[in-house]
Structures are given as structure tokens and as C-alpha cells.
Structure 1
Amino acid sequence: MTTVGFIYPDHAAEDDYPLAERMLGDGLSLPVEHIYGTDLHAVPELLDLGSPERLAEGARLLAKHEPDAVIWACTSGSFVYRPDGARTQADQLAAAAGVPASSTSFAFTEAAKALGLHRVAVAASYPDDVAKLFVEFLGAAGVEVVAMGSEDIDTAAEVGRLEPDKVVDLALRHDHRRADAVLIPDTAMRTLALVNTIEDQLGKPVLTANQVTIWHGLRLAGDSRTSQDLGALFATGTGS
């Protein structure tokens, strides 16, 4: 049994995780524990949300599940710390959890590396100033953002209420002909059931926050299982 624990902020799209558990087959547990703060997409609030104290509480909540790895399932609450700060954040979480740990921001850069992506388009739900920090984070990892769209949605709760057709439209509108893939960086957005649909329409890979978070967590736990239901990232055991 592989167990990967996820620290998830507040409530929005956490039902993507039990959905992934069903999609990925037997011998897998993806428990989610919640920490709470404001769900506002604003830099001071995001820095507070990803603080060592809050993540240590998440690690304590996950301990009963005996996870093989732990992921901070929040993109903005990790990249807002910038690359060096996000690495410190992940290292502190690993120390608190006693197992390998990371965050969704690093999941994106690792997934891009695994797929050999060099130029991407970003379809962000965040306000523009927050979205630009994600672009900066990707750039520091050697991923060029050739186009960025920001929807200026203020809270995670609003993102979690987006209908599936709106999520698909978001990805399609913010694609770019020079992009190798489209990245959708918000774990508050339900995307797992839509990844293949979006890829079929784009004709290229799509990386979404909950998708890469689960993929990265599995790899940290030494599990390289594949799926035909979760996009190009999961299709061939890339990064195993």
C-alpha cells in the first residue's frame, strides 16, 4: 500500500483526491487533511497560509495515516515564498512529517522537467500580481512562460465553484501556439476529470495543480503507477 498525505487549505476541490484514488487503482491511499486560514489570493494572506506553524499542524493531522510522503497541496501558498523560500518550506515540512515532502509549486516544475517542457502557457485563476509570482517561479526552474492569462478571481472558494465548461474554456483561451503545454495552477479548481478532455482539444499536454500534486507525491513515495485517464503526465510512467 502506498500512502501519500496531502495538506489542503480550507475547502474547494479536495474531492479531486478521492477521485484520483479511484482512477489510479488498488493499493493506494491519498488522505487529505485541512488547515485553515483566509482563502484570499493575496500575498500577505498566502504567506500566512503557508507558514511553518500551519504546515506543521497539517503534518500532525496526517500522522495517523502513516504517509510515505507528504505534499503541501497549495500552489500559491508555496510559490509566494519564491524558490529558495519554497525549498525551505518543503524541507521544514519534511522535518515535521518525518517523511519526504514537497509542494504543488515544485510538483509543477518536476512535471515540466519529466515531460521535457521548455515553453508553457499559464492559465491562472489568480489576480495578476499573484500569477506573476508563479511565472517567476517557473522561470527560475528554466521553464519559459510564453503567455499568461489571469482571471483575477479573489478567493479559492470562488474558483471551486467554477463549472467544468468554464475550466475547459479557461485552458483553451490562454493557450499559445508556441507553448509546449498549458499549466493551470490552482488546487482549488476541479480538473482531474477534465484533463483528457482539455488535452484532446488543445492537442498538447495540460498540467493542472491537483494532477501534478498527486503525481509528484506518488513519485516521492516511490510509486510510478500510470493511468490513461489523467493526461500525458500519467500516461507512460514519465518521471518514474
Structure 2
Amino acid sequence: MTALGFLYPGHFAEDDYPRMEQLLGSDIRLPLVHTDVGEDAQHEDALRELGSPRRLATGVEELRLSGAEAVVWACTSGSFAYGWEGAHEQVRTLARTAGLPASSTSFAFVHAVREIGARRIAIAATYPDDVAALFAAFLKDAGLEPVAVHAAGVTTAAEAAAWDGDRILALARAGDHLDADALLVPNTALHTVSHLKTLESTLGKPVLTANQVSVWESLRLADRRVNAPQLGTLFTREPVVQV
């Protein structure tokens, strides 16, 4: 049995995790601990407070008691808002506090893009323009090439959590670009797991979403590989050999 832990801000789309647990198989558990959101707002100061060491540390002991072998801070904006170097320090601090391998959703996107062999990417974000630009800058610092950035202007996680599959598909279509090898849909407040196959079949390319890549990242930390076609291309492709 492999247990992989998640620190998840608030109560928005956490039901994606038991859904993924069912799709991954009986020997994988995905224990999730909620962290306090504070101000539910998509602006830089609130996002940096959301991902502060103090807030993340509160859930670590519960995850350790769950038997988790690794921990992922399951939040995109609350990690990339720190910038490339700051997000690394955030993860290092989390790993020291937990005594476990650690990562975040922002780094999960980077590693997942590399896993599928993509470089040019499009971004379909619920965020306001300035927050979407921070995510694009983070990806550029990782050596990726955002060819299009679409921002829907949503200012709270609660609003994003209320979106249904039709709105998520419309967001994906609005954010896609012909030159993109893959489409990235950040925000762990979005319920995307049930829609992954529809998104990929409609766009005809890999689609990476926040909760999906967070779970894939936890498996990567534990050196586990699981074939789960319902979770999209990321969970079916052989790893790309970097040269």
C-alpha cells in the first residue's frame, strides 16, 4: 500500500482526489488534509499568505500520521506566486517540516510537461490577467514556452469550484493554441478529473489540469508509475528520455 499526502487549501474541488484514488487502484491511498485559506482572493499578497510556511505546517503532522510517503502542496497559485526561487524554498521548507519528499502543483505542471515531451504550451486559467501572467513567468523560468495565455478573470476559488464541465470545456477552447503541444489548466479549485477525456478528445492534444498533475507528481515522488487512461495522456504515456 502506497499513501501519498496532499495539503489542500480550503474546501473546493477536493472530491477530485477520492475519484482519482478509485481510478488508480486498490494499493494507492491519497490522504488529504485541508489548510486554512484565510482570504479567498486571487491577488499576489493573498496567494503568498495562502502558501506561507505557517499555514502549510498546520497540516503536516496529520499527514505523517496517515502514513504518507510524500507530500504535495496541492495549490497552483499559492506556489507560483512566490516565483521560481521562492517556490523552491517553499517546497524545501515543507520537506524539512514534514520529513518527507515534497513538491507543489506548480512544479507538478513543469514535471508533467516534460514527462509528455511538450515544450510549447498554452494556458487556460480561471485567474485574473496579472495572476495568469505570474504562472506564465514561472513556466518560462522552467524553460518552457507559453505560446498563449488566456485569463478568465475569476477572483475567488469558490467561484471556480462552481464551474461545470461545459464552462471548463469553454475555458479550454478559449485558451488553446494551434502551436501548443499541450494545454495547461491551473487551479486546484476546478473540478476537472471527470472531464479529462472529453477535454483531450475535443482539443486533440494532452491536457494537464491542477489536481491531475498534483496526484501524478506525488506518484513521481514515490517512484510509482500507474497506467490510468481515464486520467488522460499523462497517465498513459511512456516517460520521455531527456537527452
**TM-score, normalized by length of structure 2?**
0.96
Q: 1:154-212 CA deviation, whole Å, 9 max, x = no partner?
A: 10010000011111111012100000011001100000111111000100000000000
Which ranges of structure 2 fall in alignment gaps of 5 or more residues?
A: none
Give the structure 2 partner of residue 9 of structure 1. 9
Q: Are 1:152 and 2:153 counterparts?
A: yes
Q: Are 1:75 and 2:76 counterparts?
A: yes
Q: How does 1:105-184 map to 2 (within 5 A)?
A: 105-184=106-185
Counterparts of 2:35 and 2:102, CA distance in 1:
16
Contact kept, 8 Å, 1:122 with 1:148, in 2: the verdict is yes
Give the structure 2 partner of residue 33 of structure 1. 33
Q: Are 1:98 and 2:72 counterparts?
A: no
Contact kept, 8 Å, 2:116 with 2:237, in 1: the verdict is no
Contact kept, 8 Å, 1:122 with 1:174, in 2: the verdict is yes
- AA aligned to 1:185 is P
Number of residues of Structure 1 aligned to a counterpart in Structure 2: 240
Counterparts of 1:33 and 1:179, CA distance in 2:
34
Counterparts of 1:39 and 1:104, CA distance in 2:
18
Counterparts of 1:161 and 1:230, CA distance in 2:
21
- AA aligned to 1:89 is Q
Give the structure 1 partner of residue 199 of structure 2. 198
- AA aligned to 2:151 is S
Contact kept, 8 Å, 1:123 with 1:185, in 2: the verdict is yes
Which ranges of structure 1 fall in alignment gaps of 5 or more residues?
A: none
Contact kept, 8 Å, 1:78 with 1:103, in 2: the verdict is yes
Q: 1:201-233 CA deviation, whole Å, 9 max, x = no partner?
A: 100000000000000001101211111111110
Q: What is the RMSD of the two structures over their aligned residues, measured on CA atoms? A: 1.1
Q: Which runs of 4+ in 1 moved over 6 A?
A: none
**TM-score, normalized by length of structure 1?**
0.98
Q: Are 1:215 and 2:225 counterparts?
A: no
Deviation at 1:239, TM superposition (A): 6.6
Give the structure 2 partner of residue 48 of structure 1. 49
Deviation at 1:58, TM superposition (A): 1.9
Q: 1:55-101 CA deviation, whole Å, 9 max, x = no partner?
A: 11121231220100000000000000001000000010001111100
Counterparts of 1:226 and 1:134, CA distance in 2:
28
Specify the SS of the correspondent of 1:147. Answer: strand
% same residue: 49
